[in-house]
Structure 1
Amino acid sequence: MADRDHAQLRIAADLVILTVRDGKLQVLVITRRNFPFEGRRALPGGFVRVGEDIGATAVRELSEETGLDGAALRLEQFAVYGAPDRDPRGRVVSVPYLAIMPDLPIPTAGSDASTAAWMPVEEVRAGLAFDHDLILDEAVERARRRLELTTIATAFCPAEFTIGDLRNVYEVVWGEPLDPRNFSRKVTGTEGFVEPTGGRRLPVTGRPAALYRAGGATTLNPPILRQR
């Protein structure tokens, strides 16, 4: 017969902050200063205080541990993680938040984080504390899905960009090469995604490339889907 005692829970907020830096998909990680997993990398986050909304916890912890302003990010709650053994301190349920944004600043470690840094996703996978590897993997998949359904990729490009610049964002986030002609056809054929500026970029070699700016759409119809 199952144990009928009610679990005594603590609630935590964790954050997956993604960006594109140096041609790679990178994630914000800290090094834990305290037990448990002292000296291990982890996602920023911490416990909800009495009388505090979980979203406010996420913003506070991000600021305390990394110096980044969570209020300026588009934080999206995307799951709940509550495996009984996910935290050696007791029964802890994590509510994670995701943001994928360009031009984010260099973090500054504070609170119970001894370091804070941007690191390539592929370098930190399979090495994070708690169940943060799982949280990161599912957040990355959610971010990749955003590129399929929304125009967020244009935010990672300069004010005027080529289709090749935009394709590079997709390749970095999706982690796979794309056929240039097929990608160009899909992008230019999706209403409101990009708009031609009339200008051209002159490369060192090869043909000039047409320049575009972000269009007025926020969602893609039809979506631009990965090859499954």
Structure 2
Amino acid sequence: MAAGKSSRLTDYPRPSVAVDIAVLSVVDAHLCVVIQRDDAGTAMLPGRFIRERRSVADTVREVLELKLGLSPDRVHPHLLRVFDDPDRDPRGWTISIAHAVALPAAQLTSVVGELVPVSPTGALESDEPLLYDHDQIIAAATDSLRERYEDRPDPDNLLPTPYTLT
């Protein structure tokens, strides 16, 4: 091994890794996102740090069930992207493996959190600030939703039936 090189993982700094989920829906013809609030009342996406010996998929299921009150067997978020700006979380180096899911509003009647309207740019319509870079995660989730809806009619079953393609 070359001088100064280490093969021990403990010799390298490690980030914390979290899962954040943007849950989107349509309410009264407005795109909305589920937000929760921290102890100070700041809006944030539901999320959780990945615990030792747990997978990303396990953590997604835990966020759905424990943080949102949704059945992880009936809701299947898709991987949005990794948010890895070293300064995204002032508490320390944290990487977020962000996911998104779009659900009909009828499936969110007992969700833990608030459904709040989102602007066309993906920001909260109220201009309320979000924790960390959660505004960027919501913007990426709304962009992803728009892309899916350009290719197929109502892939997430957000529109009430009957609807027509005219």
Q: What residue ranges of structure 1 are gaps of 5+ in the alignment?
A: 110-115, 164-183, 185-228
What residue is the counterpart of 1:30 in the other structure? Answer: 36
Q: Counterpart of 1:84 in 2: which secondary structure?
A: coil
Question: Are the aligned partners of 1:7 and 1:91 in contact in 2 as well (CA < 8 Å)?
Answer: no
Q: Counterpart of 1:127 in 2: which secondary structure?
A: coil
Deviation digits for residues 199-227 of structure 1 (CA, Å, limit 9, x no counterpart): xxxxxxxxxxxxxxxxxxxxxxxxxxxxx
The structure where helix makes up a greater share of residues is: 1
Q: Report the CA distance between 1:152 and its aligned residue.
A: 2.6
Q: Report the CA distance between 1:125 and its aligned residue.
A: 5.2
Normalising by the residue count of structure 1, what TM-score does the alignment of the two structures yield? 0.60
Rounded to whole Å, the distance in 1 between the matches of 2:127 and 2:12 is 34
What residue is the counterpart of 2:137 in the other structure? Answer: 135
1:149 corresponds to which of 130, 151, 156: 151
Question: Are the aligned partners of 1:30 and 1:65 in contact in 2 as well (CA < 8 Å)?
Answer: no
Rounded to whole Å, the distance in 2 between the matches of 1:19 and 1:10 is 29
1:118 corresponds to which of 112, 115, 118: 115
Q: What residue ranges of structure 2 are gaps of 5+ in the alignment?
A: 1-10, 120-124
Q: Counterpart of 2:157 in 1: which secondary structure?
A: helix
Question: Are the aligned partners of 1:19 and 1:26 in contact in 2 as well (CA < 8 Å)?
Answer: yes
1:9 corresponds to which of 5, 11, 15: 15
Q: Report the CA distance between 1:106 and its aligned residue.
A: 2.5
Structure exhibiting the larger radius of gyration computed from Cα positions:
1
Rounded to whole Å, the distance in 2 between the matches of 1:75 and 1:40 is 24
**Matches of residues 76-225 of structure 1 in structure 2 within 5 Å?**
76-102=78-104, 103-109=106-112, 116-122=113-119, 123=125, 127-152=129-154, 155-163=157-165, 184=166
**Matches of residues 45-64 of structure 1 in structure 2 within 5 Å?**
45-64=47-66
Q: Which amino acid aligns with 1:28?
A: V
Question: How many residues are aligned here?
Answer: 151
Q: Which amino acid aligns with 1:117?
A: E
Rounded to whole Å, the distance in 1 between the matches of 2:69 and 2:90 is 27
Rounded to whole Å, the distance in 2 between the matches of 1:131 and 1:154 is 25
Question: Are the aligned partners of 1:26 and 1:120 in contact in 2 as well (CA < 8 Å)?
Answer: yes
Rounded to whole Å, the distance in 2 between the matches of 1:125 and 1:51 is 38
Rounded to whole Å, the distance in 2 between the matches of 1:48 and 1:154 is 27
Q: Counterpart of 1:71 in 2: which secondary structure?
A: coil
Q: Which amino acid aligns with 2:76?
A: R
Normalising by the residue count of structure 2, what TM-score does the alignment of the two structures yield? 0.81
1:40 corresponds to which of 17, 24, 42: 42
Rounded to whole Å, the distance in 2 between the matches of 1:105 and 1:30 is 14
Deviation digits for residues 23-73 of structure 1 (CA, Å, limit 9, x no counterpart): 11010100012xxxx320000001001111112212212322221223311
What residue is the counterpart of 1:19 in the other structure? Answer: 25
Structure of greater relative contact order (alpha carbons < 8 Å, 6+ residues apart): 2
Rounded to whole Å, the distance in 2 between the matches of 1:154 and 1:57 is 23
